[in-house]
């Protein structure tokens, strides 16, 4: 952010009546993040949202080993993580409306993020279709998500596909040789804040 460029002209010794343009870039001091603040958030605090940003850290005395350098690519990744955090808390339609930075000093900036939280959603009806090996009641118990629970896409995916994190629907089928198992959850919005979940099961015999 603090780089300066200078264009220098030099005579071209190989071509008559020609000049060479040399661009000299002088790096300024590294820009660090003094603070990250959020606008539009009511349900989740600034501290909670900052914690979700794993790469974008504020310069603090206790953050000795953490980097507070401003790296745009990492900020963009962390903004996606902010949306993921909202999704985990039931805010299915949360958005980052924009982000900007303000210079606090020559080598420090404040990052400002504006969010739109939207409504908090809850699961209503949860149904399985296409399952023959296991009953819907059995799959429901393994899924562990019930009517009235807060919407959480990450939790839903972990209960379906687990990735080795305990008992999940996928491992039940895989352990019995159903290697082609696949489950596709379909969401249907009901009213202002409810979601019906229809899980299509392909057992893959």
CATH number, domain 32-116, options 3.30.450.20, 1.10.10.10, 3.20.20.70, 3.10.20.310? 3.10.20.310
Banded pLDDT at 6 (limits 50, 70, 90): low
Location of structure tokens 């489950």: 183
Residue pLDDT, tens place only, 94-144: 999 999 988 888 888 889 999 999 999 999 999 999 999 999 999 999 999
On whether the CB atoms of residues 124 and 196 are closer than 8 A, the answer is yes
Nearest to 68 by CA among 108, 28, 32: 32
Segment among 46-55, 65-74, 173-182 with least mean pLDDT: 65-74
On whether the CB atoms of residues 102 and 112 are closer than 8 A, the answer is yes
pLDDT of the residue at 45: 96
Structure tokens at 197: 């979940």
Averaged pLDDT, 77-87: 95
Instruction: Note whether 32-116 and 122-202 share their fold.
Output: yes
DSSP 9: E
Averaged pLDDT, 193-203: 95
> CA-CA distance, 187 to 151, in Å (whole number)?
11
pLDDT of the residue at 61: 45
What is the rounded (10 degree) CA torsion for 158, 159, 162, 166? 130
Averaged pLDDT, 194-205: 92
> CA-CA distance, 83 to 76, in Å (whole number)?
11
Task: Show me where the domains of the chain are located.
Answer: 32-116, 122-202
pTM for the model stands at: 0.77
pLDDT over threshold 80, residue 92: yes
> CA-CA distance, 144 to 132, in Å (whole number)?
19
Topology of the domain comprising 122-202: Ubiquitin-like (UB roll) (3.10.20)
Segment among 35-39, 40-44, 106-110, 148-152 with least mean pLDDT: 106-110
pLDDT of the residue at 62: 47
Banded pLDDT at 55 (limits 50, 70, 90): confident
Averaged pLDDT, 22-27: 60
pLDDT of the residue at 89: 97
Mean residue pLDDT of the chain comes to 85
């Amino acid at each position: 952010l603090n780089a300066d460029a200078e264009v220098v002209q030099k005579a071209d010794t190989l071509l008559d009546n020609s000049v060479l343009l040399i661009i000299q870039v002088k790096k300024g001091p590294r820009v660090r993040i003094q603070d990250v603040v959020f606008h539009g958030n009511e349900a989740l605090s600034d501290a909670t949202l900052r914690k979700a940003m794993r790469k974008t850290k504020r310069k603090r005395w206790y953050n000795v080993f953490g980097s507070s350098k401003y790296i745009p690519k990492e900020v963009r990744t962390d903004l996606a993580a902010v949306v993921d955090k909202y999704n985990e808390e039931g805010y299915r339609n949360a958005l980052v409306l924009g982000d900007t930075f303000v210079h606090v000093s020559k080598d420090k900036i404040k990052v400002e993020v504006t969010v739109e939280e939207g409504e908090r959603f809850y699961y209503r009806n949860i149904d399985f279709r296409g399952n023959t090996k296991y009953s819907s009641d059995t799959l429901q118990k393994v899924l562990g998500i019930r009517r009235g629970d807060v919407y959480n896409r990450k939790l839903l995916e972990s209960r379906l596909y687990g990735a080795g994190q305990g008992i999940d629907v996928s491992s039940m089928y895989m352990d019995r040789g159903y290697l082609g198992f696949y489950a596709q959850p379909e969401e249907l919005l009901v009213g202002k804040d409810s979601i019906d979940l229809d899980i299509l099961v392909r057992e893959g015999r």
